[in-house]
Amino acid sequence: MEKYYSRIEIFVLADDYAGMTKGFLAQHGVSYFIRLYRDQGEKTSILFDTGYDGKAVLHNMKLLGLDINEVDYIVLSHNHYDHANGLLYLLEKRTKKTAIPVIVGKGFFEKTITLKPMVRILNPDWPRNQAESLGAWFIETSEKLEIMPGVSVPGIVKYDERLEFEKEAPEYYIVGENGFKTDFLEHEIALVIESSRGLLVFAGCSHPGIASIVEKVVNLYGRKVYSVIGGMHLINADELRIKRTIQKLRELGVVKVFAGHCTGLKAEKAFLEVYGDDFVRIHTALQISI
């Protein structure tokens, strides 16, 4: 099977901004429907994250003419509710009775909380066994994992692997039997698709740092990254960090940036100033063809 695809379509099912398209719903979260075409006419569909509200995701899916039963694989970037809570509802709405692979980072099922601005549980509402009873086949990984030819997750980015300017002060904690420990979000994973133009990197929230993620991908795959797509986690970043992030992405050869969710207006403005027409602000119902 060839590694590259004749066409790649991306449909935004969930983002914090609804855009100007009538009838579509926004939510605090991320969900992308990715369809890969081969020259022979075969296609494969991947759901990257499921948002917080599965009902809104399914509503937008139907408006875009998509079907949850088309999905062959699900990738959950990390265990925060705004990226994974919608899974259970979407599984319930599948009429297919076959198991569906759900790829997650090792540590996804640990209980996590934040103390800011108040104590909150960050995990999705559903327990693992309930999702499994609806067909979820969880595959946990901390290393590079090929899902199918040309489609993979690059593994986790450990805290000590991150660029210095992206080692922000932790604000999350893992709750265990022996108390609390700092959560560096080391279980977060990206999705990489190898296109004829270069690598496409999908990031849910980029807690490890989008520049650190892209640098790892470039080193691991030995190819340039054509585009990054997703949340960049720069909403609370200062101007210096934003500047360094954009400079590093340029150095790494990133051609196009599609940013939304937790990127923040300051960072979006900075990306626009540097990337111009090669920067796109993600919104629900946005369709990207590569």
Reply yes or no on whether the pLDDT at 43 is more than 70: yes
pLDDT on residue 106: 97
Q: Closest by alpha carbon to 88, among 47, 132, 25?
A: 132
Band (pLDDT 50/70/90 cuts) for residue 1 is very low
69-94 per-position pLDDT tens digit: 999 999 999 999 999 999 999 999 99
Reply yes or no on whether the pLDDT at 121 is more than 50: yes
Angstrom CA distances, 69 to 51, 74, 137, stand at 17, 12, 15
4-24 per-position pLDDT tens digit: 788 999 999 999 999 888 899
> What CATH number matches the domain at 7-125+132-289, 3.40.50.1970, 3.30.470.30, 3.60.15.10, 3.40.50.300?
3.60.15.10
pLDDT on residue 22: 86
The residue-averaged pLDDT of 237-248 equals 98
Please name the residue that has the structure tokens 């980015």: 157
Per-position b or e across 27-64, b if 16+ CB within 10 A of its CB: bebbbbbbbbebeeeeebbbbbbbbbbbebbbebbebb
More confident residue, 149 or 176: 149
pLDDT on residue 159: 95
pLDDT on residue 177: 83
